Amino acid sequence: MSATLVRDKAAEMLKIALPNKGRLAEDIRALFGEAGLPVNAVNERSLSASLGGEFEAIFVRAQDIPEFVADNAAEAGITGWDLASESGRSLEMLLDLEFGRCRLVLAAREESGVRALDQIQGVPRVATCFPKLTKRFFNDAKRQVEIVPVSGAAEIAPRLGIAELVVDLTSTGSTLRVNGLVEIATLLESSARLISRSGTQLRRELRELVDALASVLRARGRRYLMANVPRQSLDEVRKVLPGLNGPTVVDVLDGGRFVAVHAVVDSSSIYRTIAALKSLGAEGILVTKIERLMP
């Protein structure tokens, strides 16, 4: 292959900006691997990696990904929706990856007695790593505050006398409670999202990437169940196995006494589903994992 052809092929590859470290990075790599696009980096410190013949991953800080995507340094990127929203750039969500879930909340010291926005007195100071989202929230509420930008650990600000309120991320609320804070309001629901620039026409490869990742996410928490059931119990079986569009029913060559049913079921209910099928006379029950599930 000529050097020119190699350069042209590299130029055609879609760049996807991914977090370079942390739990989010690990979850994203696992998702891409399940979708058949393993991250093939030379080593752990590589700044880029192949995601197959059509995609190239570039590894940057999660908070920088909105800028990379908005400035056309990458065709798309994956980061928290909180960071994408705080950037203020013109971005759109292509897919919610459903992990890294958290909330951006307003909180006050428990002993303050403040439990609602309308109970806040005066012009309080608000410590936060999200000054743009915080300003927008209070502007919409027509409340005047003094925003105190911090780079981290906003929850300790009231204890240090830096601020009366905080706007910070939480998933379970435990960190807030440990620091004597109570939630007042939720500003934003966040999770890992695949994002692109707003108003741009998506290339075919990127649309296919969205479909591939979505099919893996759709399959998580689902199982494919097959069983032979008495034909006379089929109406009751349909109630047990609604599936996506009802179970698939196939005749079995046994004189017509049994039929084979196939269905996609939630893994959380598989125990009860099997018990219900057995009570209806089902035999040869088989449950398998699903790698991908297309609608």
pLDDT tens track for 269-292: 999 999 999 999 999 999 999 999
> Is 118 found in the same domain as 81?
no
CATH, residue 268: 3.30.70.120
> Is 196 found in the same domain as 174?
no
Contact partners, residue 111, CB within 8 Å, separation at least 6:
180
Note whether residue 294 is domain-resident.
no
> Is 267 found in the same domain as 197?
no
Given a cut of 70, the residues of the chain with pLDDT beneath it are 1-11, 42, 243-245, 254
| Residue 277, Cβ density class (10 Å: 0-12 exposed, 13-18 middle, ≥19 buried) | buried
Tracing tokens 């169940």 back to the chain, one arrives at 225
- 78-84-87-89 Cα dihedral, nearest 10 degrees: 90
Note whether residue 134 is domain-resident.
yes
3-class DSSP assignment, residue 24: helix
Contact partners, residue 225, CB within 8 Å, separation at least 6:
241, 262, 263, 264, 265, 270, 273, 274, 285, 286, 287
**Overall number of domains in the chain:** 3
> Is 197 found in the same domain as 88?
yes
> Is 95 found in the same domain as 196?
yes
The two three-digit tokens of residue 8, written as one number:
């042209």
Query: What whole-number distance in Å separates Cα of residue 108 and Cα of residue 125?
Result: 11
Report the number of secondary-structure helices (H) and strands (E) in the chain: 10, 15
> Is 169 found in the same domain as 137?
yes
The two three-digit tokens of residue 40, written as one number:
């093939």
Query: What whole-number distance in Å separates Cα of residue 264 and Cα of residue 62?
Result: 35
Dihedrals φ, ψ of 117, to 5°? Answer: -60, -40
> Is 8 found in the same domain as 67?
yes
> Is 202 found in the same domain as 90?
yes
Query: What whole-number distance in Å separates Cα of residue 127 and Cα of residue 238?
Result: 55
> Is 261 found in the same domain as 213?
no
Q: For position 256, what pLDDT does the model report?
A: 78
Q: How many CB atoms lie within 10 A of CB 262?
A: 15
Helices (H), the chain: 3-12, 23-34, 65-70, 81-87, 131-140, 157-160, 174-178, 204-219, 234-240, 270-279
> Is 272 found in the same domain as 205?
no
Q: For position 95, what pLDDT does the model report?
A: 98
What are 33-54's pLDDT values in tens digits?
999 999 887 677 778 998 877 8
Query: What whole-number distance in Å separates Cα of residue 49 and Cα of residue 39?
Result: 6
The two three-digit tokens of residue 115, written as one number:
């439990």
Q: For position 52, what pLDDT does the model report?
A: 75
Q: For position 5, what pLDDT does the model report?
A: 36
pTM for the full predicted model: 0.86
> Is 203 found in the same domain as 182?
no
- Whose CA is closest to 208, among 94, 40, 48? 94
Pairing of strands 91-96, 76-80: unpaired
CATH, residue 117: 3.40.190.10
Angstrom distances, CA of residue 124 to CA of 84, 151, 154, 180, 185: 26, 19, 15, 18, 15
Q: For position 275, what pLDDT does the model report?
A: 96
17-43 burial, b at 16+ Cβ within 10 Å, e below that, comes to bbbbeeebbebbbebbebbebebeeee
Note whether residue 95 is domain-resident.
yes
Query: What whole-number distance in Å separates Cα of residue 61 and Cα of residue 102?
Result: 19
Containing structural domain, residue 279: 222-289
> Is 117 found in the same domain as 43?
no
